[in-house]
Amino acid sequence: MILRYVARMILLSITGVWVSSGARAQATLNPGLDLVTPPSPNVRAINKFGGIPVGLSTGIPSVSVPIYTWSGKNFGKSVPISIDYHAGGVKVNDAASNVGLGWALTAGGVVSRNVRGIYDEYPTEGFLYRTMPANTAAGNETSTPNNSRTLYRMNANVTDSQCDIFNYSFDGKSGRFVYGRSGDSLFLDQTKIRMTKRISTISSKSLISGFTGVDESGYIYVFQDYEISTNLTSPGYVSQYTSSWYLSRIYNPSKTDSIVFEYDNTSITDTFGPSGSQALPIGGTGEGEAYLSYGATTINVSGKRLKKITFPDGNVVDFYYSSTVRTDLPGDYLLQKVKISKGSVVFGYTLSHDYSISGRATLKTVTPIGGSSETTDKPYTFEYNTTYTIPARGTTTGDHWGYYNGPIHTFFHNEWIQDPGMSLGWRELGGSNRDSDPNYIKAGSMTKMTYPTGGYTVFELEANTAKDNWLNARDTITVNAPPTTAKNMYLGINSGNSPAGSQTFYFEGESSTNTKFEFKINHLQNTSCTTCSVVFEIRNPSNVLMGSQQVYFSDATTDPYYVTKTLTLGNLVKNTTYTIYAYTTNLTSYFEPAEINWTETGAGSTSQMVIGHTQPYVGGLRAKRILDYTGPDTDPAQIKEYEYTKDDNISTSGALGFRPTYSYLVHYENKTPVWTSEDPSYAGNIAFNFVVRSTSAVNDITYVNGSPVTYSRVVEKISNGSSSLGKTVRYFTNFGDAAPVILDVFPQVPVEYSPWYYGKLLREDIYNSSNQLIKKTVNAYEDKQDPAMTNPTRLEHFRSATVTAVKFSYPGIQYPNTTTIINPGGDPHYHLMSSFYPIAGRSELVETKVTEYASGFTNMETVTSYAYDADHYYLKETKLVNSRGQERRNILIYPKDRINALQDTAVYGPMYRRNMINTVVGEKQFLGTRQLIEQRKAFYNWSAGVYAPKEVYTRQGYNSEELRLRYSNYDTHGAVISAKQENGVPVCYVWGYGGEYLVAKITNVDYSSVSMALGGSTAIETFRNDKTPSDATVASFIAPLSSLTGAQVESFTWHTLLGQTSHTDVKGLKTYYEYDSFGRLINIKDRDGNIVKSYSYHYKD
């Protein structure tokens, strides 16, 4: 038979990560969301897959290559290991993980944090220990030296003003939480996971050294392998902190077994930015001076990389890394091999990389290997879009969301602001276009994945779209000046040629009008070269020189990447073609395009100017088509096409959650100090006299489920290339239903939004190949707010603030200062503050209505409603009503219910305190108001930490309760070793290979006899804990069982990495199982060694 790999293609969404900007000890001009420091690149890659409800609301496809899954039968937890790709697009400043760009290794878990300002646990000045000022006046204390005032210290990053955001991802769970003052903590995505931090002395500092998490079933997760991040740009005591904590161990509730994760140490240096801000005076008063601040942030991470996972049965997964340091991330090494082994059995995968995506680590193949000689099978291979080259990290090229949008960029975003001091009443702030480009945005994204079978999947991705007023912002103003037309070109320059570049343009302006040309070149940050230059010449059709301009690398500029010079010509003739030539001096291997802008003047004395424009695209990618092929065939076996439109099938259903703001108006004042300290004062943020610009948006990027866009309607059409196989139309909650709230305060505070609200499936319509509706599902939800949101005392524990300076002394002027000039680079003397609070809650599915349609038959409708526990969020009751109005209810009972009823509190009380709150201890079923059956599990504390049923009772209707099942004993690890049905024969179990695998099942004998035959509890425990017993050892240990009178013995042998190797039934007949070097079943044999069934694995070439 032919077995085929199945590509696990799902459409899903992810959580975004805030990116840091440069931090200075002096006041930053960005009033809110700077000083946000992310964790290491590998952690950022993991966090992309946090909080991922599977769905199509963002259209982002995610590809997964499964590596191995350990199934802990008695342990009660499985551990999947995979490498996962996120296809939402590659940002200019994305760093590749040690798997490759866009990829993440999913194995184990991590808690990480985004540090906002100073790390929370910084003694005395950290968020956990500082009381926030009640308001702005309270933070600008009177009779206090300026640099000792609270808001001054917060703005200078000496005192913390905002709580850090912690993210967790483990065991399929993910979310965020924060710590507050007075020992308080708050999960922003409501859960009943317990998370306890540990603060220890690390490098002579009090830092969070780890966490212990307990899930709702009582499993314990220990995070103690921490990373230390050091801000090399702003060195100092507060620049070093613990930033991530990797999962070190998972314990079962009794803490008798565990999964162990081991790590190697690494040291990675990474740079973010550059970022900056600029303050420009407006209004034409002459009382202000411009101020520019910019820089990058460099972080060193003393990090961790996963080395080994050891499971309770002795199975081991080892991770091997290249011995050659990465060229794109100093100090890091790429994952080269994952090996799964136990004893002589070995299989796994090797990974190969290159740097084909713009010099960043690129995963090319994942190849299965088997056996000690590591025989290779056919690989998974990956292809990416290399049509366009993404610029190097650390450049300013990118759209509003950070995705590549073209080769030429300046430090700031081009925009218009109202300025009464200008003749038009408006001012244009120069910069580059940050619109999303539908072609450039695809750079680096995956285009094809080929499987070991020879089949492959082709991904056709496209840019996001959305309907939003901000995307269509246009103002028209009347100007008392001739009409003008702005034009531009990009001129490619190659210093190896002469001329180095040339391009024509057609002049449509009026003859003899002044035309100003602007030439912008990349100086490669080599401004010290005074002889390096590019000469531009403009010539008419007769090759007559009309004018020239020489742009030197050393020419004065405020832009860290580009230098610009202008040339004004008054001798151009309308409707004439001119040529611009470029020549280089003292340059070699210079291949940078030049940007040339000019404005042509038309006829007339007045004109209308349109400020703003329509932006048809939004950052990030979505799936357009996904085509699956079974082999090198010409026709796809399946095509999935996606449409993101409203019911009119025309208008986009996308809604935007993030409207970037790059500038704000502010009233700045100058300070004229006196010799002694004085009461701070400020006239108020009115009569704006400055505009402050930022290289990045001053309001935080709102990502929900990994995308700035959520779609309210998505159509998925499936065909085999020649005929339709049907379609599914889905409706989701999105930003259009409940837009994130941007408060109109200054300084700005983070956007208020509830990520759990978005991307919920509201309705699903399924159509057959004839476009007939065959099934409709409608869901209803209820959004819950955490009780802390309405508790003023608790809210105060988490109150944070943004702070900005608005009054300055003139730099370099000593007391007394008599100048009236305002310079925002001076020492701040007054600050404004805005408070904000975290938002916490959850969403619950409360009703599902399913209607099935069949031609010629009555529609079948079922309505299922759900009720949850208000305090612990678990499902309490399910009610189903069918088309005939019949109602069935199912009620679940939990430990808390037993405690409230004062039933066996000595057992259920400790279970509750151990957070075993989701354990179902009973169930009731009703038909209408009539009870059908009730089940009650009587739990018992068998040994330390082992809480399990002792008896199971049922009640038919309202009759007397009947005992149905008895559990006679469990081992100290929580595995049942003896049970019987009431009035039935006892069944006993012997476990081995570390306790995860059944070795013998003995029927018709009580456990005391079994224990005595096997040498007692100590001998049984010793055998259980032997992770690698030979078949002979197993046979010898259980041999005494055959002498037990009346016993029926069934036995098993295993290789815990491969599976069952033999089975002996109660008659003594044996069956054997054989596997190949890749861990795949190949033969089933009878007791005489004859092959009963065989399996072959043939792949297409």
Q: pLDDT tens for residues 1057-1087?
A: 999 999 999 999 999 999 998 888 999 999 9
For residues 879 and 774, what is the distance between their CA atoms, to the nearest angstrom? 24
Least confident of 267-276, 671-680, 836-845, 1092-1101: 671-680
Identify whether 341 is part of a domain.
yes
Token pair 């994760």 in the structure block, residue: 261
pLDDT for res 703: 56
- pLDDT (tens digit, 9 = 90+) per residue, 797-824? 999 999 999 998 876 555 455 556 788 8
Identify whether 942 is part of a domain.
no
**Running DSSP on this structure, what letter comes out for residue 743?**
-
Based on the domain organization, do 399 and 295 belong to the same domain?
Answer: yes
Strand bridging mode 709-711 / 713-719 = unpaired
pLDDT for res 421: 66
H runs (alpha helix) in 40-117 = 41-47
Based on the domain organization, do 492 and 627 belong to the same domain?
Answer: no
User: Using 50, 70 and 90 to split pLDDT, how confident is the model at 8?
Assistant: very low
Based on the domain organization, do 450 and 490 belong to the same domain?
Answer: no
Per the structure block, which two tokens stand in for 355? 């740097």
pLDDT for res 818: 56
Per the structure block, which two tokens stand in for 457? 């999947």
Residue 599's beta-bridge partner residues? 486
Least confident of 463-467, 680-684, 712-716, 1016-1020: 680-684
pLDDT for res 799: 98
User: Which residue range is the domain that position 1097 belongs to?
Assistant: 985-1101
Kindly state the average pLDDT of the residues 375-385. Answer: 96
Kindly state the average pLDDT of the residues 276-284. Answer: 83
pLDDT for res 480: 63
Domain boundary among 570, 605, 640: 605
Based on the domain organization, do 299 and 362 belong to the same domain?
Answer: yes
User: Using 50, 70 and 90 to split pLDDT, how confident is the model at 524?
Assistant: confident
For the cut 60, the answer to whether the pLDDT of residue 389 exceeds it is yes
- pLDDT (tens digit, 9 = 90+) per residue, 579-622? 999 999 999 889 888 989 898 988 887 767 777 788 999 999 99
Kindly state the average pLDDT of the residues 947-960. Answer: 94
For residue 1013, give the H/E element and its range: helix 1007-1013
Domain boundary among 560, 583, 605: 605
For the cut 80, the answer to whether the pLDDT of residue 35 exceeds it is no
Based on the domain organization, do 437 and 492 belong to the same domain?
Answer: no
Based on the domain organization, do 452 and 500 belong to the same domain?
Answer: no
Identify whether 146 is part of a domain.
yes
Kindly state the average pLDDT of the residues 134-154. Answer: 94
* C-beta contacts of 673-676 below 8 A and 24+ residues apart: 673/809, 673/815, 673/816, 673/817, 673/829, 674/815, 674/816, 675/815, 675/816
For the cut 60, the answer to whether the pLDDT of residue 14 exceeds it is no
Kindly state the average pLDDT of the residues 702-715. Answer: 78
For the cut 50, the answer to whether the pLDDT of residue 1007 exceeds it is yes
Least confident of 270-274, 297-301, 488-492, 531-535: 270-274
- Kindly list the distances between the CA atom of residue 622 and the CA atoms of 439, 460, 468, 869, in Å, as whole numbers in the listed order: 13, 9, 18, 37
User: Using 50, 70 and 90 to split pLDDT, how confident is the model at 515?
Assistant: very high
For residues 116 and 164, what is the distance between their CA atoms, to the nearest angstrom? 5
Answer with the residue of higher pLDDT: 225 or 284.
Answer: 225
User: Using 50, 70 and 90 to split pLDDT, how confident is the model at 674?
Assistant: very low
For 920-968, the three-class secondary structure string (H helix, E strand, C coil) is: CCEEEEEECCEEEEEEEEEEEEEECCEEEEEEEEEEECCCCCEEEEEEE
Kindly state the average pLDDT of the residues 880-900. Answer: 96
Based on the domain organization, do 153 and 175 belong to the same domain?
Answer: yes
For the cut 50, the answer to whether the pLDDT of residue 921 exceeds it is yes
Identify whether 1076 is part of a domain.
yes
Per the structure block, which two tokens stand in for 517? 């040309």
> In total, how many domains does the chain have?
3
Q: What percent of the chain is modeled with pLDDT above 70?
A: 91
Based on the domain organization, do 447 and 564 belong to the same domain?
Answer: no
Answer with the residue of higher pLDDT: 726 or 426.
Answer: 726
How many other C-beta atoms can be found within 10 angstroms of the C-beta atom of residue 209?
17
Q: What is the CATH number of the domain that holds 547?
A: 2.60.120.380
Based on the domain organization, do 631 and 762 belong to the same domain?
Answer: yes
Answer with the residue of higher pLDDT: 528 or 363.
Answer: 363
CA nearest to 896, candidates 925, 877, 918: 918
User: Using 50, 70 and 90 to split pLDDT, how confident is the model at 1004?
Assistant: very high
Kindly state the average pLDDT of the residues 355-375. Answer: 95
Answer with the residue of higher pLDDT: 988 or 698.
Answer: 988
Based on the domain organization, do 359 and 390 belong to the same domain?
Answer: yes
Q: State pTM to two decimals.
A: 0.85
* C-beta contacts of 1056-1060 below 8 A and 24+ residues apart: 1056/313, 1056/314, 1056/315, 1056/342, 1056/993, 1056/994, 1056/996, 1056/997, 1056/1027, 1057/315, 1057/340, 1057/341, 1057/342, 1057/345, 1057/347, 1058/345
- Average pLDDT for the chain: 88
Identify whether 686 is part of a domain.
yes
User: Using 50, 70 and 90 to split pLDDT, how confident is the model at 1024?
Assistant: very high
Q: Quick check: 729 and 765 in contact, CB under 8 A? A: yes
User: Using 50, 70 and 90 to split pLDDT, how confident is the model at 24?
Assistant: very low
pLDDT for res 26: 35
Identify whether 958 is part of a domain.
no
- pLDDT (tens digit, 9 = 90+) per residue, 841-874? 999 999 999 999 988 888 999 999 999 999 999 9
Q: Quick check: 361 and 335 in contact, CB under 8 A? A: no
Identify whether 666 is part of a domain.
yes
Domain boundary among 571, 605, 639: 605
Based on the domain organization, do 632 and 721 belong to the same domain?
Answer: yes
For the cut 90, the answer to whether the pLDDT of residue 52 exceeds it is no
Kindly state the average pLDDT of the residues 320-339. Answer: 96
Identify whether 627 is part of a domain.
yes
Based on the domain organization, do 216 and 327 belong to the same domain?
Answer: yes
